[in-house]
Amino acid sequence: MVVRVREITNAEGNKLRNIVRHGREPVEVKRAQVILASAQGFTPPKIGVIALMSEDYVRDLIHAFNECGMEMLKPKWRPGGSPKFTEDQRQGLVSLATSHPKDLNLPYAEWSLSRLREEAMKRKIVPTISTEWLRVILHEAELSHQSIRTWKETDDPEVEKKKRRIERLTRKKHNPPTVLSMDETGPIPLIPQGGEGWFEEQRPGRIPAEYSKTYGRAYYFLCLNVYHQRLSGRTYLKRNSKNWLALAKAERSKYPADQKVYLISDNLSTHKTKEVVQWARESHTTLVFSATHSSWMNPVETHGGDLQRLALPGTHFTSVKDLGRALDRAVTYRNRERKKRGKRFRDTVRKDRRRRAKTPLWKRVSRTRD
């Protein structure tokens, strides 16, 4: 029986997509990539090729998500030593942090750590506490200081129908059809990009702190052959139907004219103009769209953020051509790496060949050494 993730909600799908594209914690990004790929219908062997990890580890992560939900995405870091605060005190701090200051007749509308600390001691939730311990307690309760954002819920009446259709295309084992998945990545501004690396102690790499946005921005149109996991892409200045159709024609030309090709994309208006529909009808291509505000269903979504993290950190491109070359090299590297390493990834396979550890991988925590 194929191991697969449980049915995820549209909100969970969009959150996974955002983590894969914009996440900063590498462990969280990789785990979200695995769960999103499973939700899109891929099997553990295929996900192992996508995420560059072993099939056993992929199955562990899927079981973890089915058991624990979104909380398994974050690694369980925690400080060493015995806890200094009781469970009631911790719950009191969490309740205070999640309340609105205006409801407590306070003169400000937002909490800061210092304000939260003062109010907690004033209300005698704790006799004393440092801001750093307060930060740790809130982090363990999965709370973080965030901006208030808007959210879009899908109102597509055929959301389940479209989801099942994409799953049927991506999960067929015998004689699979030719399935392409396309999407735009960006806009990518031509500005100094931060990153990480190995440098001399106290002498990190530098990028300009002051710059002018005189070089513009660009979009990278990405295409994925779903069953072969082969990526390709092009750089464009604008995200419009003309450029979309140009890439679609180029990708379609790689296959025989009489061969039926399925093209998966999100529900953007530039993806289904009259010109695109007419070309698809004439070129033996079937357009398959994800549900409205549910672009996480598109299989290529698991690759866009990965490519940017390969090509952009520590760079300062001053031309669109240079940006395009860097992204093209990242695509070539990723294709070659997956082909070279194949289906077994030794860095994530247990040496004793056990399928399951006594302590599940997603529940392990790091401890400070004595």
pLDDT tens by residue, 105-125: 888 888 888 888 888 888 888
Q: To 10 degrees, the CA torsion angle through 261, 266, 267, 272? A: -40
Q: To 10 degrees, the CA torsion angle through 32, 33, 38, 39? A: 60
Q: Dihedral sign, CA of 247, 249, 254, 259? A: positive
Q: How many CB atoms lie within 10 A of CB 79?
A: 13
Q: How far is CA 224 from CA 66, 231, 239, in A?
A: 27, 5, 18
In 199-271, alpha helices (H): 241-252
CA-closest candidate to residue 15, choices 76, 52, 57, 65: 65
Return the residue matching tokens 């001691």. Answer: 121
Whether the model clears a pTM of 0.85, i.e. scores above it, the answer is no
Distance CA 346, CA 54 (A): 7
Burial (CB count within 10 angstroms: exposed 0-12, middle 13-18, buried 19+), residue 261: buried
CA-closest candidate to residue 330, choices 307, 309, 313, 314: 307
% of the chain at pLDDT higher than 90: 0
List CB contacts of 247: < 8 A, sequence separation 6 or more: 182, 221, 223, 233, 234
> In this structure, what DSSP letter does residue 316 have?
-
Distance CA 36, CA 20 (A): 9
Average pLDDT for 43-56: 85
Q: What is the CATH number of domain 10-72+159-197+212-341?
A: 3.30.420.10
Tens-digit pLDDT profile for residues 186-207:
788 888 888 777 877 878 777 7
Q: How far is CA 144 from CA 33, 97, 98, 134, in A?
A: 22, 10, 10, 11
Average pLDDT for 334-340: 78
Residue 355: pLDDT band (50, 70, 90) is: low
pLDDT at 369: 44
The 261-265 sheet, strands edge to edge: 230-236, 217-225, 178-189, 261-265, 285-289
pLDDT at 345: 43
Assess whether the previous peptide bond of 187 is cis (omega < 30° from 0).
yes
pLDDT at 344: 43
Average pLDDT for 128-137: 86
